[in-house]
Chain A
Amino acid sequence: MAVALLVMALAAAAALLWLLRAERDCAKRQLLRSMHGARSGPIGQIGLSLLLADGISLRRLERLLSVEYALFEVVAVLDAAREEELFGMLVARYRLIRVGYRPTGELPVSGVQALYRSRKRRFRRLVLVDRRENGLTPPLHAAVEAAAYDFLWPLRPDERLTRGAVERAVYALSEAAQPPVILRSVSGLRATIYGREAVAAAGGFTRELRRRARPRITIRDPLTVRREEVCGGWRSRWLRWFGAGLGVAVLAAGIAAAPAWWWAAAWTATLLLLALCRVRIGQLHRACG
C-alpha cells in the first residue's frame, strides 16, 4: 500500500514537472516568435543548409523555400534518371539550369551527374543535385558537398519543419558562447543540426558524431514533426485512440483490483492527472508548433 502510494505520488510529480517544463518551453517559443530580427536579416552570419535526400516533392520544396531567414538554402539530391517526371517538374517550376560542379573533397562522393541552380533570383536558395544511386556512398554526402553554409540540417522523408523552426534554431545557435558541433532537439522528431567541419572530420553523419560530439546544444523545442501526407494522419489518430483505450483499461483494472475505495479514488485521481497533463502538453506543442 505504501509502495503503491509512493509510485502514484512519483508519477503525479513527474507529470506535473514535465508539464511545467513544457509550459516554460512553449513560452520561450512564443517569445522567439514575437522577435523579428531573424526575419529582417541574417543573425551573425549563421547559415543553415537543409539537406533532402528522400521524400522530395514539389509541395514539400515550396513549403521549405518559404522560410524567411536570409542565410538558408535547400539542397535536394535526386536521381533524374529514375524520377524523370519529378525532375522535369522541378526544372520547369524553378527555372533550373545546369551549373559547374567540382567536389570539395570534404566527404567521399560518387555518382553525381550534375548540379542545378535557378536562373531566377527568387529561387536562389534551391540547389538540386542529380546523383545516380549506386550504393557506394550515402546521398547526403553529395548534398554536403553542394551546401554553402556552416550548419547542416538533414531532413528525413517523414519530417516537416514546424512554424518558425529555422529562426528558432538560429537563435539557439547564436546563444552559444562558441559555435557548437551539434544542436539537438529532444522534442518532436528529434532534429539534429550538425556543424559542417565536424561532419567532414567524422566522415559523414555518423552515430558516433551524434552521441559524442562536443560542444553541443540540447533544446526542448520541437523543430520538426511528422508529415501528415506521409502517414495520412492515421498514425497519430490510431495512437491517440489506442492510448485512450489503454488508459481506460488500466483505470478499470486498478479500480477492480483496489483493496478499498480510498485506494481506487487515489488511483483514479492519479490517472486523470496524467491524462490531463498529456492533453495539455499536446495543446502546448500544437499551439507553438
Chain B
Amino acid sequence: MMRILYMLYTAAVCAALVPLAAVTLDRLLRRRRRNRDRQLCSCSIRQIVAAQLSDRAAEVPLPLGRAVGRRRLLSELLSELVSATYGLDTAPVRRIVERYGLDRWLLRRIRFSRGCRRARYLKWLADLPVGGPARDAAKRYLADPCREVRFCALLVRIVAAPEEALRAIAGFGAPLTDGEVAEVLHLLRRGLLPIAYRPLVGASDANLRRLGLAIVGQFGVEEAEPELLHIVASDEAALSAAALRVLASMHRPMRRREVIARVRRMVPAERHALLRLLAREEYAPRSVRVLLDTAEQPYYESLVGSYKRQLVWR
C-alpha cells in the first residue's frame, strides 16, 4: 500500500516536473537570445521611424520578423513606441499589425490567459491600431473578476469609441485609483480623448470628477477655478482634498473662503502635507499666513527657507 502511494506521488511530481522543465528551458533560451532580440528591436524601430517619412520603407520586412516569438516582441515594441510618441502616423504601424496578424494573436493570448497576464495583452491591444472587430471582441472582459483586466478592457473600449469614453468610465463600477486616472490621462495626452474638463468636473459620477480634476491640474486650466472651489467646499473629503491640491499646483490664491474652511477641517498630518506642497509650489509665507496657526508659521518658514533658493535656476 505504501509502495503504491509512493509511486502515485512520484508520478504526480513527474507530471508537474515536465511542463515546469519545459518552461524553464524556454526562458533560459529566451534569455540567451535577449541580446540578439534587443538588436533586432533597435533595427526595427529605426525602420518604423523611417516608414513615417517614406512609404517604401514600410514595405520592407522588419528585422524583428525573423526572431523567435516575433509576435510577442513586435506587440511589446509597437505598444512601447505608440505610447511614448505623440502625433505618430499609425498607418505604417497598422500595416505591420495586419502583416504579422498581431490582433488575432493578441486575442488568442487574451482568451487563454488569466489575471495580470490577460490584462497586459489587453493593454497592448489598447495601444496598437487594430480594427474595430478586434476591439469589440475585448468587450466581454469588462466583466472579468480581476480588476486589472477590467481596467485594461476599459482602456480598449475608450480607444475604440472615444465618443463613449465618459459613459464607459462612469460605468466602471469601482472608484478609479490615482494610477488608473493617470493612465486615462496618458491617452488624453496622446490625443485620443477630448480635453473637455467642464462636463467632467461638474459630473455626478466621482470617477468623472476625479478625471476632470486631473485634466485641470495637468493642463493648468485656470478658468476652472470656480468649479474647483465648489468641489473644495463640498463634503466629499477625498475629492475636496484633491481639488485643493490642484489649486495649489496651479498656484492659485489660497486666501479663498472655501480654502480656509477646508484647511481648518484637516487633520494635522494632512495640513503638514499641504504645507509641504505649498512650499514646493513656492508660495510665500505672507500669501498663506491666513491658513497657518501660530505653531505652523515657523514650520512653513523653515520649509520655504530651503526651497526658495530653487528660484536661482528659474
Chain A residues at the B interface, C-beta cutoff of 8 Å:
1-2, 5, 8-9, 12, 16, 19, 24, 27-28, 30-31, 34-38, 40-46, 97, 99-105, 115, 117-121, 124, 146, 148-150, 170-171, 174-175, 196-197, 260, 262-263, 265-266, 269-270, 272-273, 276-277, 279-280, 283, 286-287
CA distance A266 to B152 in the complex (A): 44
Chain A residues with CB under 8 A of B277: 45
Chain B residues with CB under 8 A of A279: 24
A262 & B181 in contact (Cβ 8 Å cutoff): no
B120 & A27 in contact (Cβ 8 Å cutoff): yes
Q: List 9 A-B contacts (CB under 8 A).
A: A8-B9, A31-B123, A45-B277, A99-B309, A102-B305, A104-B302, A117-B309, A265-B6, A269-B10
Tell me whether B21 is interfacial, beta carbon within 8 Å.
Answer: yes
Instruction: For residue A257, give the distance in angstroms from its CB to the closest CB of chain B.
Output: 15
B299 & A36 in contact (Cβ 8 Å cutoff): no
CA distance A277 to B13 in the complex (A): 12
Instruction: For residue B263, give the distance in angstroms from its CB to the closest CB of chain A.
Output: 16
Tell me whether B60 is interfacial, beta carbon within 8 Å.
Answer: no
With A37-B186, A260-B3 known as contacts, the answer to whether A277 contacts B20 (CB < 8 A) is yes
Top-8 shortest CB links A-B = A44-B178, A37-B182, A99-B309, A27-B116, A174-B178, A102-B302, A102-B305, A197-B269
Chain A residues with CB under 8 A of B301: 102
Instruction: For residue A180, give the distance in angstroms from its CB to the closest CB of chain B.
Output: 12
Chain A residues with CB under 8 A of B80: 34
Chain B residues with CB under 8 A of A265: 6-7, 10
CB within 8 A of A115: which of B20, B273, B299, B306?
B306
Chain A residues with CB under 8 A of B306: 99-102, 115, 146
With A30-B116, A262-B10 known as contacts, the answer to whether A46 contacts B28 (CB < 8 A) is no
With A100-B305, A266-B6 known as contacts, the answer to whether A27 contacts B117 (CB < 8 A) is yes
User: What is the size, in residues, of chain B's interface with A at 8 Å between Cβ atoms?
Assistant: 67
A273 & B177 in contact (Cβ 8 Å cutoff): no
Chain A residues with CB under 8 A of B268: 197
Chain B residues at the A interface, C-beta cutoff of 8 Å:
2-3, 5-7, 9-10, 13-14, 16-17, 20-21, 23-24, 27-28, 31, 76, 79-80, 83-84, 115-117, 119-120, 123-124, 148, 152, 177-183, 185-186, 189, 218, 242, 245, 249, 268-269, 272-273, 276-277, 279-280, 298-299, 301-303, 305-310, 312-313
Closest to B245 in A: A45
Chain B residues with CB under 8 A of A31: 116-117, 119-120, 123, 148, 152
A43 & B179 in contact (Cβ 8 Å cutoff): yes
CB within 8 A of B9: which of A9, A34, A117?
A9
With A30-B116, A174-B178, A175-B177 known as contacts, the answer to whether A262 contacts B3 (CB < 8 A) is yes
Chain A residues with CB under 8 A of B298: 105
Chain B residues with CB under 8 A of A104: 299, 302-303
A266 & B13 in contact (Cβ 8 Å cutoff): yes
- Most chain B CB neighbours (cut-off 10 Å) among A8, A43, A115: A43
CA distance A265 to B3 in the complex (A): 11
Chain B residues with CB under 8 A of A12: 13, 16
Closest to A198 in B: B269
CB within 8 A of B186: which of A40, A102, A115, A276?
A40
CA distance A107 to B189 in the complex (A): 41
CB within 8 A of A283: which of B13, B24, B308?
B24
Instruction: For residue A179, give the distance in angstroms from its CB to the closest CB of chain B.
Output: 8
Closest to B249 in A: A45
CA distance A267 to B2 in the complex (A): 14
B181 & A44 in contact (Cβ 8 Å cutoff): yes
Chain B residues with CB under 8 A of A272: 13, 17
Chain A residues with CB under 8 A of B16: 12, 16, 273
Instruction: For residue B162, give the distance in angstroms from its CB to the closest CB of chain A.
Output: 18
B24 & A276 in contact (Cβ 8 Å cutoff): yes
Instruction: For residue A49, give the distance in angstroms from its CB to the closest CB of chain B.
Output: 10
Instruction: For residue A111, give the distance in angstroms from its CB to the closest CB of chain B.
Output: 17
A40 & B182 in contact (Cβ 8 Å cutoff): yes
With A27-B115, A266-B13, A287-B27 known as contacts, the answer to whether A148 contacts B280 (CB < 8 A) is yes
